Amino acid sequence: MAEKKHVILTGDRPTGKLHIGHYVGSLKNRVALQNTGKYDTYIMIADQQALTDNARDPEKIRRSLHEVSLDYLAVGIDPQKSTIFVQSQIPALSELTMHYLNLVTVSRLKRNPTVKTEIQQKKFGESVPAGFLIYPVSQAADITAFKADTVPVGDDQEPMLEQTREIVRTFNRIYDQEILVEPEGVFPPKGEGRIPGLDGNAKMSKSLGNAIYLSDDADTIQKKVMSMYTDPTHIKVSDPGHVEGNTVFTYLDIFDPDKDQVAKLKEQYQAGGLGDVKIKRYLNDVLQAELKPIRERRKRYAANIDYVDQVLKEGSARANEVANQTLKEVRDAIGINYFG
């Protein structure tokens, strides 16, 4: 039997329920990889990372821990196939982060494109929490603790992976041992890495109020779809419409398996004679079919929260064993296991 690869996924901070952007951008990919049977899959709820910009509201993180766990289970992540664990319950990750910080300069962290973008989005200005600035190093610890060679992420996370690879190469060179493993990213299919918000904004997020959540009921989904941004120049049904930048068609491209039907709708819309209400109703049917089974599974798990806690407890115990072994190897290489 071929040796299994290790996979760790670090993309989800517990700051609220997950939306369809997360589903398309990473969750579907994780389930597909898990179900191949070719990988040892570790899926982390990054509560410590979430605290880097929510330290004054820890209750938000604690409350969201179950929300993210329920979303994971609802989309099909299987605790029998994947190790789901909580970042803060793995002490080795904090120590690995400390060792790696000695291998990275502040200027390099500030140049990280993903960090720069998020600092701007969060409007930190000069008041960037130190923990937030160094979270690429924390992510490197998360990945290398499990010697992950494959990391499913969104397109915007490639700079974070490159930072991890730099740390791996630097550590292995300085201590002259091939202990840490360089990870490669697995990215969503082209065009599915990020979907726009309901309002046409390039980013779907809770803070912008422009998201459809995996837990939304049917009526909520319908209301959100009917409010979606389309083509502001398409005033009358008879007017020719634009599909580029039209959020409804963007969603249909992603979620509707009937690509021929989508092509026909685009042609009709561009020629004139197809109203926004009709295509929104069609999209609503598509999304309801996709999300109904997820929502129903989520309700079943929510009714047995003790089981969810047990999944997290057992997953964190398994993750601890693996991370502690890597930490021992790192400490041995540095030479700080003074007393055996």
Mean pLDDT calculated for residue range 154-159: 78
> Residues annotated in the binding site, as ranges?
13-15, 21-22, 142, 154-156, 195, 203-207
Please tell me whether the overall predicted TM-score, pTM, comes out greater than 0.75 for this model: yes
Q: Is the pLDDT of residue 68 over 80?
A: yes
Mean pLDDT calculated for residue range 147-166: 87
> Residues annotated in the binding site for L-tryptophan, as ranges?
142
Q: Where are the domains of the chain?
A: 6-194+305-334, 216-300
CATH number for the domain running over 216-300: 1.10.240.10
pLDDT of residue 153: 77
Kindly indicate the confidence band of residue 157, based on its pLDDT and cuts at 50, 70 and 90: confident
> Residues annotated in the binding site for ATP, as ranges?
13-15, 21-22, 154-156, 195, 203-207
| Three-state SS sequence of the chain | CCCCEEEEEEEECCCCCCEHHHHHHHHHHHHHHHHHCCEEEEEEECHHHHHCCCCCCHHHHHHHHHHHHHHHHHHCCCCCCEEEEEHHHCHHHHHHHHHHHCCCCHHHHHHCHHHHHHHHHCCCCCCCCHHHHCHHHHHHHHHHCCCCCEEECCHHHHHHHHHHHHHHHHHHHHCCCCCCCCCEEECCCCCCCCCCCCCCCCCCCCCCCCCCECCCCHHHHHHHHHCCCCCCCCCCCCCCCCCCCCHHHHHHHHHCCCHHHHHHHHHHHHHCCCCHHHHHHHHHHHHHHHHHHHHHHHHHHHCCHHHHHHHHHHHHHHHHHHHHHHHHHHHHHHCCCCCC
pLDDT of residue 337: 93
Kindly indicate the confidence band of residue 1, based on its pLDDT and cuts at 50, 70 and 90: very low
The pLDDT tens digits for 256-276 are 999 999 999 999 999 999 999
List the single range of 6-20, 146-160, 196-210 with lowest mean pLDDT.
6-20
Output 110 or 187, whichever has higher pLDDT. 110
The pLDDT tens digits for 102-154 are 999 999 998 988 888 888 888 888 888 899 999 899 999 999 999 999 888 77
The pLDDT tens digits for 200-234 are 887 888 778 899 999 999 999 999 999 999 999 99
Domain 6-194+305-334 grouped into CATH 1.10.645.10: no
Catalytic amino acids?
A: 122, 203, 206
